C-alpha cells in the first residue's frame, strides 16, 4: 500500500504538504521512491499527530486496534457533516467530500496510508469504493493515549483484585454432583478425563483459560451489531486502551466514553463504561483501586506473585513415581507444562501427577524453557529417568511391539478415527492411507469402523 500510495495515488500538492509538515528531506519532493523510503520513519511524526484533534486521534486508535484496512465509509463516523446521506446520491456523491476531508486532515499530514484495491471484474464499482486506508503500525507508539493515564505510586495502596483464574483451578479437585458430560456448565468446567486435564471439551492450556475468562466478560458487555459500528467489542476496546498504560498508570472508566462514541456511531445505546469496567474487575480481568473517591482501573497482572516462585514451593515429591501440585501457588504456565508431560489424577483432594514417557517425548523442546520441567528432571527420579531414556534413544531406530497398521482408504473414516483419538494420541497417521495404533485399541477401532458402515479385512504379514 505504501508503494502504491507514494508512486501513484499522491499528487505533487499532497507530497509537498506531507514533506512540509513532517520536515522530510527536500529530495523527497523530487523522488517518489525516496518519499516511500522516508515516509515510515519517525521524522516529524510526533508533530503531525499533535496537529490532530482528539476525535481524529481516537479514530486512528480504532484503526490501529483493528489492525486491518478500512474503506472510505469508515470515516463517516469522524466527518459526518461531509456526508450528505445515501438518499438520491451516487456513491461518489456521498463520499467525495468525505475523501477530500480525509486527505486534507490525515493523508496530507503524513499519518495515514491509502491506495486503490484491485478491481474485481465481476463487480461494477467506482474508484472511491475501491480505496482502502490503513494506519501504519510504525506510528502507533507516537499516538497520544486514548485514555488519560493517571500515575499512582502503588506502595501502600490497596489494589483490589479478584483472582478468578486461581479460584477456577479449585474445580480440578472438586467432585461434581454429576459427571462432567452431564454438568450444565460442562463447556466451562475444569476436570480430569483420561488422566488429562480438560477445560470443557478441550485440553487445558493457559491461552484457552484466559480466552474463556475474557468471553465471560464479553457476554455481559455488548453493543448493537449495526453495519456502521466497529466489529471490535467494547471489551476489545477496553483491553486495547488499558494495554497502552505504562507502569503504575491507571485510568478512569469515564475516559472510555469518547472512544466508544467513535467506535459505535450507530448504537442506540452505548455500553455504560463504569459498569463495563466493574464487570471486568469482577471477572478478574481488571484491577481496581480508589483514587480521590473514584474507581480507577488497569489490566490485571497475568499471575502476580507466582511466576518467580521456585518449583519446590508448589511441587511436592511424594514417591519416585508421583508428585503433588499445590494449585494455590503453581504458576499457570507451569501447570500447562506439567499437563503436557504427565498423567494427572485426584487423590485425597490433591492433584497428583505421574511422568509419562509418551507425553514427555512430545515435549522435549520445552524442557530447557520451562523452569518446572528442568526442576523435575533434577529432583524427581522417574521424570529424570524418562528424559534420560529419551535422550539416549534420540536419533535411533526403535522397533515397537504390539502395534497394528491399518490401511484406511476412505477419507471420511480416517478423519473420524483421527478425531476420535486426537486427545489420547494413540492413533498415528503414517501416510495418506495408513494409520498405526496399539493392539489393545483394536476392539474399539473395529467398533467404529463397523458402525460407520465399513468392513474390516485382516491381512497377515506373509500375504
Per-residue pLDDT of 19-59, as tens digits, reads 999 999 999 999 999 999 999 999 999 999 999 999 999 99
Which residues fall within 8 angstroms of residue 54, CB to CB, at 6 or more apart?
Answer: 258
Contacts of 241 (CB under 8 A, 6+ apart): 61, 145, 146, 147, 251, 255, 256, 259
Reported as type and span, the H/E element at residue 298 is: strand 294-299
- Say yes or no to pLDDT of 80 above 90: no
- Using the predicted structure, report yes or no on whether residue 180 has a pLDDT greater than 60: no
**DSSP letter (8 states) at residue 5:** I
Average pLDDT over residues 364-391: 88
Residue 99: strand, helix, or coil: helix
Ranked by mean pLDDT, the top range of 291-295, 339-343, 429-433 is 339-343
Cα–Cα distances in Å, from 288 out to 166, 275, 305, 399? 18, 13, 17, 59
Contacts of 188 (CB under 8 A, 6+ apart): 199, 200, 212
**Average pLDDT estimate for 107-125:** 90
Model pLDDT, residue 181: 47
With a pLDDT cut of 70, the percent of the chain lying above it is: 94
The pLDDT, as a whole number, for residue 305 is 62
* 221-233 pLDDT, tens digit each: 988 888 788 899 9
Residue 257's pLDDT band (boundaries 50, 70, 90)?
Answer: very high
Asked which of 99-113, 189-203, 413-427 is least confident by mean pLDDT, the reply is 413-427
Q: Model's pTM, two decimal places?
A: 0.77
pLDDT at 176: 53
Say how far apart CA 392 and CA 404 lie, in whole Å. Answer: 26
Percent of the chain with pLDDT over 90: 49
User: Quick check: 182 pLDDT over 70?
Assistant: no
Span of 315-329, 381-395, 408-422 with lowest mean pLDDT: 408-422
How far apart (Å, rounded) are the C-alpha atoms in residues 284 and 296?
15
| Cα–Cα nearest to 78, from 48, 46, 94, 54 | 54
**Cβ 285 vs Cβ 244: under 8 Å:** no
pLDDT reported for residue 186? 46
pLDDT recorded at residue 306: 61
- Alpha-carbon dihedral 25, 30, 33, 34, rounded to 10 degrees: -10
Buried residues in 134-164 as b, exposed as e (16+ CB within 10 A):
bbbeebeeebebbbebbeeeeeeeeeeebee
At residue 33, the pLDDT reads 93
Q: What is the CB neighbour count within 10 angstroms for residue 425?
A: 10
Contact 224, 264 (CB under 8 A): yes
- Closest of 216, 42, 214, 43 to residue 140, by C-alpha: 42
Find the mean pLDDT for residues 183-189.
56
Give CA–CA dist 126/9, Å, rounded. 15
The answer to whether the beta carbons of residues 282 and 221 sit under 8 Å apart is no
At 93, list the grid cell.
456523491
Averaged over 137-143, what is the pLDDT?
94
Q: How far is CA 282 from CA 162, 176, 256, in A?
A: 7, 24, 18
Amino acid at each position: 500500500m505504501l508503494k502504491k500510495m507514494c508512486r501513484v495515488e499522491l499528487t505533487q500538492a499532497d507530497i509537498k504538504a506531507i514533506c512540509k509538515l513532517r520536515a522530510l528531506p527536500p529530495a523527497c519532493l523530487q523522488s517518489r521512491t525516496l518519499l516511500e523510503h522516508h515516509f515510515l520513519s519517525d521524522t516529524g511524526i510526533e508533530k503531525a499527530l499533535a496537529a490532530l484533534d482528539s476525535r481524529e486521534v481516537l479514530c486512528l486508535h480504532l484503526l490501529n486496534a483493528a489492525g486491518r484496512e478500512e474503506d472510505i465509509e469508515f470515516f463517516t463516523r469522524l466527518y459526518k457533516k461531509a456526508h450528505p446521506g445515501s438518499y438520491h446520491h451516487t456513491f461518489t456523491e456521498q463520499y467525495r467530500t468525505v475523501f477530500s476531508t480525509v486527505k486534507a486532515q490525515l493523508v496530507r499530514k503524513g499519518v495515514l496510508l491509502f491506495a486503490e484495491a484491485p478491481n474485481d471484474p465481476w463487480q461494477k464499482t467506482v474508484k472511491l469504493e475501491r480505496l482502502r486506508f490503513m494506519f501504519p503500525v510504525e506510528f502507533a507508539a507516537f499516538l497520544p493515549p486514548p485514555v488519560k493515564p493517571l500515575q499512582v505510586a502503588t506502595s501502600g495502596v490497596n489494589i483490589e483484585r479478584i483472582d478468578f483464574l486461581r479460584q477456577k483451578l479449585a474445580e480440578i479437585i472438586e467432585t461434581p454432583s454429576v459427571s462432567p458430560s452431564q454438568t450444565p456448565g460442562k463447556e466451562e468446567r475444569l476436570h480430569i478425563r483420561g488422566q488429562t486435564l480438560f477445560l470443557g471439551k478441550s485440553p487445558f492450556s493457559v491461552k484457552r483459560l484466559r480466552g474463556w475468562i475474557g468471553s465471560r466478560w464479553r457476554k455481559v458487555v455488548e453493543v448493537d451489531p449495526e453495519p456502521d459500528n466497529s466489529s471490535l467489542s467494547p471489551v476489545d476496546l477496553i483491553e486495547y486502551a488499558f494495554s497502552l498504560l505504562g507502569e503504575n498508570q491507571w485510568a478512569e472508566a469515564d475516559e472510555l466514553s469518547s472512544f466508544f462514541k467513535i467506535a459505535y456511531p450507530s448504537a442506540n445505546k452505548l455500553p455504560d463504561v463504569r459498569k463495563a469496567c466493574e464487570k471486568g474487575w469482577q471477572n478478574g480481568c481488571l484491577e481496581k483501586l480508589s483514587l480521590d473517591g473514584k474507581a480507577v482501573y488497569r489490566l490485571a497482572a497475568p499471575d502476580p506473585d507466582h511466576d518467580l516462585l521456585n518449583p519446590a514451593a508448589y511441587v511436592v515429591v511424594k514417591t519416585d513415581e508421583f508428585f503433588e501440585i499445590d494449585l494455590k501457588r503453581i504458576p499457570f504456565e507451569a501447570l500447562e507444562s506439567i499437563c503436557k508431560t504427565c498423567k494427572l489424577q485426584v487423590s485425597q483432594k490433591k492433584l497428583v501427577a505421574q511422568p509419562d514417557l509418551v507425553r514427555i517425548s512430545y515435549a522435549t523442546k520445552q524442557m530447557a524453557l520451562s523452569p518446572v520441567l528442568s526442576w523435575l528432571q533434577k529432583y524427581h527420579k522417574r521424570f529424570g529417568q524418562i528424559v534420560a531414556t529419551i535422550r539416549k534413544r534420540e536419533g535411533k531406530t526403535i522397533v515397537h511391539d504390539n502395534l497394528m497398521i491399518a490401511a484406511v482408504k476412505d477419507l471420511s473414516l480416517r478423519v473420524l478415527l483421527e478425531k476420535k483419538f486426537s486427545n489420547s494420541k494413540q492413533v498415528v497417521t503414517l501416510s495418506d492411507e495408513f494409520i498405526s495404533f496399539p493392539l489393545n485399541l483394536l476392539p474399539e477401532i473395529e467398533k467404529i469402523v463397523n458402525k460407520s458402515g465399513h468392513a474390516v479385512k485382516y491381512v497377515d504379514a506373509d500375504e
